[in-house]
Structures are given as C-alpha cells and as structure tokens.
Amino acid sequence: MIEIGEAQHRVLEDIPLLGRERIHILDALGRVLAQDVKAVRDVPYRDNSAMDGYACRHRDLAGAESVRPVTLKLVGESRAGSPFEGFVGLGEAVSIMTGAVIPRGADAVIKVEDTVPDGSAAVKCLTAPRPGQYIRAQGEDVRAGETVLETGTPIRPSEIGMLATLGHGYVHVYQRPIVAILSTGDELTDLDQPFSDGKVICSNGYSLAAQVMEAGAVPLSLGIASDSEEDQRSRLLDGLRADVILTSGGVSVGKYDFVKSTLSEVGMKVKFWKVAMKPGKPLVFGTIGTKPVFGLPGNPTSAMISFEQFVRPALLKMMGRRALFRRVIEAVLAKDVVSEAGRLHLVRCRLIEENGHVWAVSTGTQSSGALRSMVLADGLMILPPSRRVYAKGTRVKVQILHSNSPLAHASPFWSRDTARDESMLSQTA
C-alpha cells in the first residue's frame, strides 16, 4: 500500500504525451496548442482610429475649447476598409471611422462627440487633442515575428480570437486519448436489459465515460464483463487499441476478483496495487507497453474519486496540459466531522459561501457505494490519516470537484443600482 502522493507520482512519470493533429480553430476549444504561433505581421497592421471622429494635426487645435472652437477643413474620409489616400495638411481634417487607417499627416483623432459640423466641408472642434490621441499604433497589440502563443497553451475563446487575428484557420494541438472502459461483475446489468433481483445497474460505465468526456478525452465502452477470465480477456483485447484502459471492479481480495490477473495475462506490468486512501484503496496501476492501465475499484464513489485523483491528471498530461490538478481551497467545517479511516480520508462535502468564509459540510453517509453523496458534493475534504473528531470551526483543505465551479453565483456581483458604490472595493493593504 502506498501513499496517494507517491501513487500520483508513479502514475504521471509513466504517462506519455500524445502526438499532434491539425484541426480547425473552432474545433480547438479546450484543446492544448502543440505549436508555437508567431505573428507574420503587426497587429494593428496600420495606425488606426479608436473612435469615430476626425483625424487631424494636434497642433492645429492647440487651445481649442467649447467657448473657443477651432474650425478645420474637411478634405476627405477614411473608412474602415477604405483608407483616405491623401495627406492631411495644415488646418485640415479627415472624417474617420473606428478602425480606419490614420491618414498621412494626421497625428491625433478628435472624437465626433467633441465636434459640431460647420457646413458640409468643415468641422468645429471643441477640445484640444493630445498628440497620438485615440490612435491605436501599428504593432501595439502584436509585433511581426513575435511568438504570441506558445506550445502548451490551453485554447479558450480568447486564444481562438487571437489565432484568427493572426491568420490561422488551422492549428496543431495534442491528440485526445481514447479511453477504453470495462465494467466487471456478475451482479451488473445494463440499462437495456431487464432488471432482476440481486442485480445492480452498472452505473460506473456511464459515470466514468462522463468523467472521460469532461476531461476532454474520448470514451470507448467495452461493456460489462462477467466474473470470468475468458469474458474479461476477450473484452480487454478489444480495448488494446485505446490509449488508456480503465476497468472497474474485481481488483480486491475476493475469490472472483480476476481483473488483476486477467490484465497481467494481456501483458500488464503492475506498477502498484492499493493506495492508502479512503475511498479508493484497491486500485491497480500498470502499463501495457506505454499504455497506462487503471484497475479502479468497483464501488461507484470509489471509482469516481480514484478517477479524479489518478486518471484525470493522466489524461490531461497526455493532452498536453500543465495544470493537472483540481483547485484545493481552505474551508471551515460547519459541523463536526469524524474521521475513522486510519488512512487519508477524502470526505465528500458541500461548500457554502457565507459571511466571507467558505463553509464545508459533509454530504452524509460516506459509504463507498453511496452515489448520492457524490451527487451532493462540491468537493472532497482532505483529512489526514489519524482517527479523530474535527470540531466545527476547524479549517480544512477541500479539493474542488467538477469543472463548473460550485461557487458560481446565482446573482450578479453588482446589484441593480450599486455599480457606483465604492463599497465594492475594500481598502486594506
């Protein structure tokens, strides 16, 4: 039996990075860049206007104000996509739209709100612009030749926008692992089979497939194997084309727990068996060639929590991610919690934000079979191995579960009227 940290280390040191593939940028959301992306040209490509208004020479307007406006002669128009090709001379201006190129001669923009028309060929300017005012300089955002996005960057909407800006419709990303999932156990039945006494619907096949998808990988279901080496072997052979193999059940000490030996028969080299944690102790990890194999426990919550600790980080690493682990926060116990695991105890809990604290409350029965407690859980309290009572008010570490933050808000931060309220800012150092 080994510690969880050691087990994670042994899993991750054996995990290969998958190869690259080239995909359209709109298919790349959530993937990880497998190339550096350089800019071939400056962004903006030319000095351009940040406002609708008039491109002018700032010196011409020195001293202009609303009671003493200065009139400029309009000599043309620079539209987004149709630049003014001429020159802006002394006392002249060019009508300009947001995003349009600044014409030669001009060195500032005065916005339309700071002007009044003076006939059709002139404009009265009511303020004096600073030099460079409302001009977005060429290369201000990105310089030609610069590496803008690096290998290993997770691709979010802003990266997709940047890739488009830089002219990339396609991009290299790391491939997604195919994850074969085999459930084992004579008691298991599937959703399309009639239910009978003594049977249990195989939920692990579904919850594990969902966890695989949530991590961004691709599930491949091998169905349910009975507690027979023959059935398990034949299904596992179907799974050998996958990049990762997951089984659930059959890895404990019972006399029908064949999975470990069946996996060895199909070529698995065992790296460890059993981890000092609750739930999830009976976990087998090994490799078939470079292919990681996880023999997860059969209890629904043990399987899910073991997936979180070992399989998810491994899948993320294969896909090129660097942040492999869920966030751990500090929370305050809202009630006493008894830990009698005698090993690292991961207690399913809800999180409640109130009075400036995040409070943690156990979700009730912590039986490894109890899926209900997973449904209710926002996170896992991390309790050390000692058997003891943790009193209400104790601060504990909590590992957040799920990608959708359980601490998202039902109401906006800003109330309907208080956006001007300075109290939104607290003033300490």
Under rule CB under 8 A, which residues in 236-265 are in contact with a copy of itself? Answer: 252-257
Residue 406, SS3 per DSSP: coil
d(CA 296, CA 317): 19
Minimum CB distance to a copy of itself, residue 264 (Å): 20
Residue 272, SS3 per DSSP: strand
Residue 267, SS3 per DSSP: coil
Under rule CB under 8 A, which residues in 116-135 are in contact with a copy of itself? Answer: none
Minimum CB distance to a copy of itself, residue 383 (Å): 7
CA 92 → CA 45, 47, 75, 109, distances in Å?
A: 25, 19, 7, 12
Residue of 115, 108, 102, 104 lying closest to 71 (CA atoms): 115
Minimum CB distance to a copy of itself, residue 90 (Å): 25
| Binding residue for a copy of itself, selected from 168, 176, 235, 260, defined by CB under 8 A | 168
| Binding residue for a copy of itself, selected from 214, 223, 229, 288, defined by CB under 8 A | 214
Does residue number 270 form part of the binding site for a copy of itself (CB under 8 A)? no
Spell out the residues 6+ positions from residue 194 whose beta carbon is closer than 8 angstroms to its own: none
Which region, judged by CB under 8 A, interacts with a copy of itself, from 57-65, 117-125, 164-172, 239-247?
A: 164-172
| Binding residue for a copy of itself, selected from 19, 68, 119, 195, defined by CB under 8 A | 195
Does residue number 352 form part of the binding site for a copy of itself (CB under 8 A)? no
Residue of 288, 350, 352, 278 lying closest to 309 (CA atoms): 278
Does residue number 152 form part of the binding site for a copy of itself (CB under 8 A)? no
Minimum CB distance to a copy of itself, residue 182 (Å): 16
Minimum CB distance to a copy of itself, residue 144 (Å): 13
Does residue number 20 form part of the binding site for a copy of itself (CB under 8 A)? no
Kindly tell me which of 68 and 195 has the beta carbon lying closer to a copy of itself: 195
CA 364 → CA 84, 332, 372, distances in Å?
A: 71, 17, 9
d(CA 273, CA 295): 9
| Binding residue for a copy of itself, selected from 55, 142, 263, 284, defined by CB under 8 A | 142
